[in-house]
Amino acid sequence: MKVVGTQRSQVLASRIAGALGVEMAEVRFSRFPDGEHRLQRGALDRDTVVVGSVMDADSLVQLLLLLDACRESEVRLVVPYLGYARQDRAFREGEPVSARAIAGALGRGMVQAVTVHVHKETVLPYFNAPARNVTLEAAIAGYISGLGLTRPLVLAPDRGALAFARAVASLGGWEAEHLEKTRISGREVRMEAKDLAVKGRDVVMVDDIISTGGTLATAARMLQAEGARGVHAIGVHGVFTGGALDLLRTSGIREIACSDTIESEACRYSAAAAIADALSR
């Protein structure tokens, strides 16, 4: 078995190869004069793990090309971040089911597909291959333990993420709660921990995706106003659109961390071990 990765998933692909105890296959990336993607891969073994996050159209095209270049091998597909997954149904007449379109295009001829914290596991059958979604609660709990915090409160940004926060907190023996929005006026919203006081405590906000950072930044300011000793933000996928990292830093958040499903300066822990475990089963 060998592992290959798209251009923007090289770090995670190499870590997956290390966790599996196998080698990476070389891939050379370039473009044609008109801007179209071009690549050439090196020698493969009978089994190949292809790793590529889908963050935008370029990364999707590159992943499709890499899969085609590996078609002579038995391919196990790893999509650490599956873009378009949030459109998992047609919300209005005439809309595509984007998750179905993307997963269906990627999954043709695959032996196995693995995703990480996909938006909803109901999209997995769209791969038309045995598909498994892995979650990173253990990796996040390990990262929090390494921060050296005393009795941290694990906080979900909303009720929908509370199960995730509780799963993380249970691994460290910590308390978990979710933020609740209270509308004060037409333009003013207050966010606070629903039942637990935060004064004098370290608060760790966890979520699957950090995109614009607006909710976390607002919550951080309010938690500090309520007396939180320190506020930290940990996500799985660090999308960070529109200057989100700068927004989060200026909100007073002490630590901003995400996994390596999307490569950025905020990557502080890895999804490699969880992915390697799923591939080995």
Using alpha carbons, select from 242, 171, 249, 179 the residue that is nearest to residue 207. Answer: 179
How far is Cα 106 from Cα 78, in angstroms, rounded to an integer? 10
Task: Please give the C-alpha separations between residue 54 and each of 64, 80, 249, in angstroms, as whole numbers.
Answer: 10, 8, 26
Verify whether residue 2 is a known catalytic residue: no
Please give the DSSP secondary-structure letter assigned to residue 55. S
Query: d(Cα 94, Cα 235) in Å, to the nearest integer?
Result: 33
Concatenated DSSP letters for 100-151?
HHHHHHHHTT-SEEEEES-S-GGGGGGGSS-EEEE--HHHHHHHHHTTT-SS
Asked if residue 142 lies in contact with residue 269, where contact means CB atoms within 8 angstroms, the answer is yes
On the CB side of 241, CA atoms within 13 Å amount to: 7
Q: Mapping DSSP to helix (H, G, I), strand (E, B) and coil, where does residue 280 land?
A: helix
Q: For 53, which DSSP code?
A: -
User: Which one of 2, 181, 194, 199 is the catalytic residue?
Assistant: 181
Q: Which residues are catalytic?
A: 181
